[in-house]
Structure 1
Amino acid sequence: MQLLSSILFLILLGIGFGFFIKNARKIYRNINLGRDINRSDRSSERWKNMAMVALGQSKMVKRPIAAVLHIFVYVGFVIINIEMLEIIIDGIFGTHRVLSFMGPVYDVLIGVFEVLAFLVIFAVVIFWIRRNILKLKRLNQKELDGWPKKDANTIIYFEAILMVFFLVMNAADYYLQTINYTHFAQVGSFPVSQYISLIFNGMNPEVVFYVERACWWLHIIGVMCFMNYLYYSKHLHIILAFPNTYYANLDELGKFDNLEAVTNEVKLMMDPNADPFAAPAPDAAEAPSKFGASDVQDLNWVQLLNAYSCTECGRCTASCPANITGKKLSPRLIMMKTRDRLEEVGRNIDANKGTFVEDGKSLLNDYITPEELWACTTCNACVEECPISISPLSIIMDMRRYLVMEQSAAPMELNTMMTNVENNGAPWQYNQMDRLNWKDEN
């Protein structure tokens, strides 16, 4: 019987981790569809940023209540899943609480796990109330209708149920320990589940044993399901927040990248001594095949990583002045649409044996409209607010660049301004010689 149990457990692990690795490879492939960008510089700053933002949750504290609750869930899941090591060993070798040889340290660990499990349940209940009863505005906007809202609630249910299985398993274990049932030696500390164990008083010990085993199996099956559900969920940030913050743009906000090839052309035009017919320098940058981005393949891989990392919390949209004043732009929706298009491209590649077949669609127009792009004020509020250093603005600017440089599709006001700069050396529509006329008005 024990051999059969171990075999079933190994099959479960194989299926769970095999499916997870398969989907992780798809995500890795999709992210690498983006253009190359060098983010290997300033490694010490990058490690510090990852430690502070992803691990230390430093940007979450701007909203203290949500931050404390999120820390309960974050720390709880990270630390409680240390117990997965024991569950895996027990499942493979048929042992029971194999790490109990650690003595007092084990007692402390189990006690901490239980307190954290209780705090996780408390936090996710509050999260559920905020989403579904209090209906916080940023968590109930129209862009979250359908799958996004269902996904958010599914994660809450997953987290709560996993913690309940864990505590009921421990409660049954504790009860069986107190009555010296077969191999249940008195180990561990159970500050929460000892009270839950009262429900087993007077129950047949064999029934309690099966309850403990059922919760043990349901907990590990739930963990495998949760791990593989992440691929379909916004909660990929649980994993991707770390590389996302490491590879984040460390330049000061407001500094935009210039295309070197364009910069060189402008310098050439402004240099009266330059020979326009001279051969370019050997190290001169070549003009890109396309200016800006019209589809996900035109974005860089960090931007695509951003799209997969977005948790749809809405802090970016809640702080966006364009969105607040009723404009169509939502930075959160920019990230969601980028991810949706990237997933569509990925499915296209899967269906065509590893090759993308043109489908007549693009990120621009089919997913994101020019109206959304031009509503942005480039204030960087969305970048500043994001808890894991995502930059919707970089995607917006690349798509604007495509509209201007490839399609000459800038708004009339912008075209007028650029024409004035070209003709008059200033954004205003009057001659350079008249610039100082204002001083004569006094």
Structure 2
Amino acid sequence: MVGQVIFIIILLAAAYLFGKNADKIRRNILLGRDVDRSDNSAARWKIMAKVALGQTKMVKRPVAAVMHFFIYVGFVIINLEVLEIVIDGIFGSHRIFAKPLGSLYGLLIGGFEILALLVLVSCVVFLARRNIIKLKRFSGTEMTAWPKSDANYILFIEILLMTAFLTMNAADHKLQLLHFGHYAAAGSFPVSDLLGPLLPANATTLATIERGCWWFHIIGILAFLNYLPYSKHFHILLAFPNVYYSNLEPKGEFSNTASVTNEVKAMLDPSFVPEATEVSRFGAKDVTDLTWKNLMEAYTCTECGRCTSVCPANITGKLLSPRKIMMDTRDRLNEVGNNMDKHGKDYTDNKTLLDNYITREELWACTTCNACVEACPVNINPLEIITEMRRYVVMEESQAPASLNNMFGNVENNGAPWKYSQADRFNWAEKE
């Protein structure tokens, strides 16, 4: 009973802490402007099944895709076994599903073990890619000590959890063969059997190892759950809704500001009566000027660097990194949220996403080619944040680069980006 009480207390505390931190993230996301992404639910379910569940955009990098698939499937399926552990912890039972599932239980445990081994191998490969091979896309000015450590922490945690799981099963199986205590024959152990010779033969010691690994495994999972809100790996939970709420419009199609559209329509048609629109700011200067979807994307970003690795501006040595845009947005949003918690919702720290986090040089280096949008495995769109901040710089501050100001002047005077008047546009044809 003491063990059960301790387990229930730990479980409830972990659930409470996770709920509290997850609610803060939800609150932060909802600081963004409203945008309607509830249309065409059939298309949204389809794209979520294809991109988030099927991981179709991962396959462009086959090695990473295969390794990630093992971890992804392992995470989903092995955690079904956590349900049994939780029930056992609450009621003091042991392998409670073994009897009702019969021979199917052996197949499940055997499958879990094979997946656990694949997860182990994949984590080792990913650690090698980051720390030994040192792939270029895992580096960059934004990849400071914490982002690099965060990635390694997660991989080490997964290795420890899978090792504890297999060791627990190995000790459990040996205890079953010894007919020790309540360890009745249950399950199939194709992988952990290989660890059997490494374990002691004494039943009492084996029971201690089995219980120790059981506690380490479940407490490790609960600790991992509460680490997620502080980590880039929160994408485990946000990837599916983020893909579901993807922008279904063609890539590169810019959104219009309703108030500006109304002004243009009124100029063209004096009889036009515009709808009432509330305008606080053109474009985005800080995170609260972005939409909730932009802010959700910031928390969904896993810092994989695929966007930056295909960005032509970054490739040619420009300052822009789409990954940094998302990381800066998340960091600023966390700062705004923390300020609200400490000082209240009306507190102003005189800092903004523009200039304090993202420089203007970064914004104007973007070619709006959508390569970053196409490369993201979970349909994150850094370009929307860039264009909204550009819109602020142009429409609120009138501080576009000189080359753009020349173009704006030409559009205003000549109806085209070029310096030639409309009457002279076909002069080239006459010269031929």
> For this structure pair, what is the TM-score category when the shorter chain's length is used for normalisation?
over 0.9
Q: Does 1:414 align with 2:413?
A: no
Structure 1 residue matching 2:319: 3-state secondary structure: coil
Letter in 1 for 2:294: Q
**Correspondence for 1:219:** 217
Letter in 1 for 2:374: E
Residues in 2 aligned to 1:200 and 1:284: alpha-carbon distance in whole angstroms: 75
- Say if 1:66 and 1:17 are closer, same or farther in 2 by CA, change over 3 A: same
**Correspondence for 2:314:** 323
**Correspondence for 1:115:** 114
Q: How many residues align?
A: 431
Whether the 8 Å contact between 1:118 and 1:163 is mirrored in structure 2 is yes
Whether the 8 Å contact between 1:47 and 1:246 is mirrored in structure 2 is yes
Matches within 5 A, 1:189-338: 189-201=188-200, 203-271=201-269, 274=270, 281=273, 284-286=275-277, 288-338=279-329
Deviations 1:98-144 (A, max 9, x none): 00011111111100000000000000000000000000000122321
Matches within 5 A, 1:116-135: 116-135=115-134
**Correspondence for 2:333:** 342
Structure 1 residue matching 2:171: 3-state secondary structure: helix
* TM-superposed deviation, 1:297: 0.4
* TM-superposed deviation, 1:284: 1.6
* TM-superposed deviation, 1:436: 1.5
Deviations 1:321-363 (A, max 9, x none): 111111100000000000000000000000024x140101000
Structure 2 residue matching 1:286: 3-state secondary structure: coil
Q: Does 1:148 align with 2:147?
A: yes
Q: Does 1:182 align with 2:181?
A: yes
Letter in 1 for 2:258: E
Structure 2 residue matching 1:142: 3-state secondary structure: coil
Whether the 8 Å contact between 1:383 and 1:390 is mirrored in structure 2 is yes
Q: Does 1:168 align with 2:167?
A: yes
* TM-superposed deviation, 1:426: 1.5
Identity rate of aligned residues, in percent?
A: 58
TM-score normalised per structure 2: 0.98
Matches within 5 A, 1:3-82: 3-82=1-80
Residues in 2 aligned to 1:413 and 1:169: alpha-carbon distance in whole angstroms: 66
Deviations 1:382-430 (A, max 9, x none): 0000000000000001101000100001111111001011111111112
Moved more, 327-336 or 248-257: 248-257
Matches within 5 A, 1:420-439: 420-439=410-429
Residues in 1 aligned to 2:42 and 2:194: alpha-carbon distance in whole angstroms: 48
Letter in 2 for 1:173: D
**Correspondence for 2:384:** 394
Structure 2 residues without counterparts, runs of 5 or longer: none
Structure 2 residue matching 1:144: 3-state secondary structure: coil
Residues in 1 aligned to 2:258 and 2:15: alpha-carbon distance in whole angstroms: 44
Residues in 2 aligned to 1:378 and 1:209: alpha-carbon distance in whole angstroms: 61
Residues in 1 aligned to 2:427 and 2:244: alpha-carbon distance in whole angstroms: 52
* TM-superposed deviation, 1:145: 2.0
* TM-superposed deviation, 1:263: 1.8
Letter in 1 for 2:358: I
Residues in 1 aligned to 2:320 and 2:378: alpha-carbon distance in whole angstroms: 21
Letter in 2 for 1:168: T
Q: 2:371 aligns with which of 376, 381, 387?
A: 381
Structure 2 residue matching 1:52: 3-state secondary structure: helix
Q: Does 1:94 align with 2:96?
A: no
Structure 2 residue matching 1:92: 3-state secondary structure: helix
Letter in 2 for 1:397: T
Q: 2:81 aligns with which of 74, 80, 83?
A: 83
Letter in 2 for 1:189: S
TM-score normalised per structure 1: 0.96
Structure 2 residue matching 1:81: 3-state secondary structure: helix
Letter in 2 for 1:368: I
Letter in 2 for 1:210: T
Residues in 2 aligned to 1:25 and 1:397: alpha-carbon distance in whole angstroms: 29
Residues in 1 aligned to 2:91 and 2:57: alpha-carbon distance in whole angstroms: 43
Residues in 1 aligned to 2:199 and 2:426: alpha-carbon distance in whole angstroms: 90
Residues in 2 aligned to 1:194 and 1:249: alpha-carbon distance in whole angstroms: 49
Residues in 2 aligned to 1:94 and 1:288: alpha-carbon distance in whole angstroms: 60
Moved more, 52-61 or 114-123: 52-61
Residues in 1 aligned to 2:276 and 2:148: alpha-carbon distance in whole angstroms: 46
RMSD between superposed Cα atoms in Å: 1.1
Deviations 1:124-178 (A, max 9, x none): 0000000000000001223212100000000000111000000000000011111
* TM-superposed deviation, 1:439: 1.9
